[in-house]
Chain A
């Protein structure tokens, strides 16, 4: 907007009062005028001329003096306001992996693609970044132009989250839900359909409930319990607490099912199963590699095929099948002890061998101490100490194993109950003794190991008549017992312990 129009030049001020421009009045030919005259006209309007403005005006006047037509120039410039930047929200959790891009050369699994954001207790979720301060501006008249204030970042905290300072954290394990207005955590993950490519693998801190099936090769991991209403196929299921399989498990020889506590299932076939406590099955267990630290119960059906290891006894309707299917059942044996023994026994033996070797080296030195120089005596001391340290390490591992063994024989239950029939083809194994069933026996039976005239036998006791049938038994070839005796010396017989109880 022209605010002054001298005969020679004009001053235009922008709408925001931040810029004043100086230009030649179009109707008038260039004519001599001093920079001071121009500056005076401008300052008379209340406009403040800065250093750059003065330079521009001087150049403008100089060009006029040379009868040139000067270009439009800035005579005064204000400082625009710098507005605050609004507060914002920074995500601190990791977003789930995106669906793999087929064109991507890197290998990614579609199984890992998931829409579920699983978070852990105490995990930081969001940070509220405060607004960034701006600054007021000044127009060409020296008047302050106020800057706009920024808005604080805001989000409502729902269940399962808490704001601590500027950070929102999870106070429970669970599934993160997050909208523009609110953030919260649900401690139970419900999948309304199958676990398939639309859902992806699940790794969840809280409880998981799946309304339909878990399809082949998918993984469902939960630190809490898992309930599957449909069928668990050849999938990998790991529950920190209980696993409830209402539809059953059809593992197709690839399924892996583990639970920190109980497993309850309609049936289990062709799967690898591990339970920290009891396993209860309604219908049947067929051809599984199964171990539990509690008891195994099959309410209505058989245990057929595979290898079963139950620490606190077995109760089934039918053991084996009419087709003489090879079925191995071990009872009162702790798989963890067996694994630990496999791992520690060689370590202990190695440490003992090393200690012995060191002692062999140091022996002649000790016998000839008179002829040793100082250095050799120091070395001999070191070797003696090394041998004693190796012995101590071996002893500490041995004690650890001994403790586990003692706990095992205290807690084990050496009993199999068969309410229906015990079939040919079944191998029954208790600690140190096993029997192969050569002819079927009708139940209800209680099968136990007993010492009869100092000989360990496996007896099948008819629960109705009380009559006893001795199953053909032999010493078990489980190397764990030999190893333990080699390490500890003669051990109390687990069966004696059971009889004491």
Chain B
């Protein structure tokens, strides 16, 4: 299972990576902002799931999700963000996000959301 992790905080990416490492056969590709995220897709080919932060320099997560959805309607995307207001969540889902995790989260909560998202997309972690 190939994950694309997009967050400007290296610490947060490391946390995601460690949480994901408990899943079998997981591999990760990292990016520090939306631009890097789109480039990573171009360079590394399709991934199985994306975890994207909202607030990032250069290109924010929402813009990145919109750009991804222009060509890829199916790859599950989870927005992992501090943005907890309902209108923001609705905005993200409209842009094409499949699931939403609000920081702060526990490792188990993140794993649960990943599992739920993949199941909905017809995949298993």
Contacts and interface: CB of A to CB of B under 8 A. Distances in A.
Contacts of A380: 103-104
Given A374-B55, A377-B82, A388 B106 contact: yes
A381 interface: yes
Contacts of B63: none
Interface string B8-44: 0101100100110000000000000000000000000
Given A374-B82, A377-B82, A378-B82, A388 B12 contact: no
Given A362-B104, A369-B104, A374-B55, A381 B84 contact: no
B84 A378 contact: no
Interface string A345-385: 00000000000000000100110010011100110111111
A384 B108 CA distance: 11
A98 interface: no
Nearest to B108: A388
A485 interface: no
B18 A384 contact: no
A336 interface: no
B112 interface: no
Contacts of A389: 18
Contacts of B82: 372-374, 377-378
A384 B12 contact: no
Interface string B89-124: 000000000000011111100000000000000000
* Chain A contact patch, size range: 10 to 19
A375 to B, nearest CB: 8
A397 to B, nearest CB: 18
A388 B82 CA distance: 20
Contacts of A378: 9, 12, 82, 103-104
A385 B105 CA distance: 8
* Chain B contact patch, size range: 10 to 19
B107 A388 contact: yes
Contacts of B55: 374
Interface in B55-106: 55, 82, 84, 102-106
Nearest to A385: B15
A380 B104 CA distance: 6
Contacts of A372: 82
Nearest to A387: B106
B46 to A, nearest CB: 28
B84 A382 contact: no
A76 B101 CA distance: 96
Nearest to A370: B84
A366 B104 CA distance: 8
Nearest to A380: B104
Given A382-B15, A389-B18, A377 B104 contact: yes
Contacts of B84: 369
A373 B103 CA distance: 11
B106 A365 contact: no
A385 B20 CA distance: 13
Nearest to A389: B18
B105 A381 contact: yes
Given A365-B104, A369-B104, A388-B107, A381 B18 contact: no
Interface string A139-153: 000000000000000
A389 B107 CA distance: 10
B32 to A, nearest CB: 15
Contact of A382 (B11, B19, B102): B11
Nearest to B84: A369
Residue from the set A365, A373, A378, A380 with the largest chain B CB neighbour count within 10 Å: A378
Interface in A381-402: 381-385, 388-389
A300 B11 CA distance: 67
Nearest to A362: B104
A485 B35 CA distance: 54
Contacts of B103: 377-378, 380-381
Contacts of B104: 362, 365-366, 369, 377-378, 380-381, 383-384
Nearest to A383: B104
B22 to A, nearest CB: 10
A380 B106 CA distance: 10
A384 B105 CA distance: 7
Nearest to A366: B104
A366 B102 CA distance: 12
A339 to B, nearest CB: 31
A385 B11 CA distance: 11
Nearest to B106: A384
Contacts of B18: 385, 389
A380 B82 CA distance: 11
Residue from the set B82, B104, B106, B107 with the largest chain A CB neighbour count within 10 Å: B104
A378 B15 CA distance: 11
A172 B18 CA distance: 44
Contacts of B107: 384-385, 388
A73 B15 CA distance: 88
Interface of A: 362, 365-366, 369, 372-374, 377-378, 380-385, 388-389
21 contacts: A365-B104, A366-B104, A373-B82, A374-B55, A377-B82, A377-B104, A378-B12, A378-B82, A378-B103, A378-B104, A381-B15, A381-B104, A382-B12, A382-B15, A383-B104, A384-B105, A384-B106, A384-B107, A385-B15, A385-B18, A385-B107
Given A381-B103, A385-B18, 7 more contacts: A378-B103, A381-B104, A381-B105, A382-B11, A383-B104, A385-B107, A388-B107
**Top 4 closest pairs, chain A to chain B, by CB:** A380-B104, A377-B82, A374-B82, A381-B104
